[in-house]
Amino acid sequence: VVNDRWGSGIPCQHGGFYTCTDHYNPGHLVEHKWENCFTIDKHSWGYIRTSGANDYLTIQEILNQIITTVSTGGNILINVGPTSYGKIAPIFEERLRQMGSWLKVNGEAIYSSIPWKYQNDTINSNV
């Protein structure tokens, strides 16, 4: 598998799947495989010890990203930045455990999903 992060002017043009940009989520079906890479920290892919609670995505924001991505045929990559000691900060652990709890109930809808061939959702405009 080759993504499209290997050169200048390459994103969304080459590779086995597109990543295009961080937080790439077209919100609709695309013909090529794609991935939504995002981090739980709203501002950094690393750990910032001075971050406050508002600097992190809520569990609802994370779940919205997961659901929208999977429902439109994308793969999801969620980053947590470890501390300088290699530890996972409590806020990241909390979000990961919340995702795990949600997946225990709803995991089949995520892991057993298959890409749509046609998108026609007239009830939810976010999908």
Does the CA dihedral 82-52-26-124 come out positive or negative? positive
- For 98-117, write each residue's pLDDT tens digit: 999 999 999 998 888 877 66
pLDDT on residue 27 = 75
d(CA 56, CA 6): 28
pLDDT exceeds 60 at position 127 = no
- For 7-50, write each residue's pLDDT tens digit: 677 777 767 777 777 777 877 777 778 888 899 999 999 999 99
pLDDT exceeds 90 at position 97 = yes
pLDDT on residue 50 = 93
pLDDT bin (cut points 50, 70, 90) of residue 119 is low
Three-state secondary-structure class, residue 11: coil
On whether the CB atoms of residues 77 and 35 are closer than 8 A, the answer is yes
Three-state secondary-structure class, residue 56: strand
Write down the domain spans for the chain. 1-115
CA 99 and chain centroid, separation: 12
**Which residue type occupies 76?**
I
pLDDT exceeds 90 at position 5 = no
- 14 vs 78 pLDDT, higher one: 78
Max Cα separation, the chain?
Answer: 48
pLDDT on residue 57 = 96
- 92 vs 114 pLDDT, higher one: 92
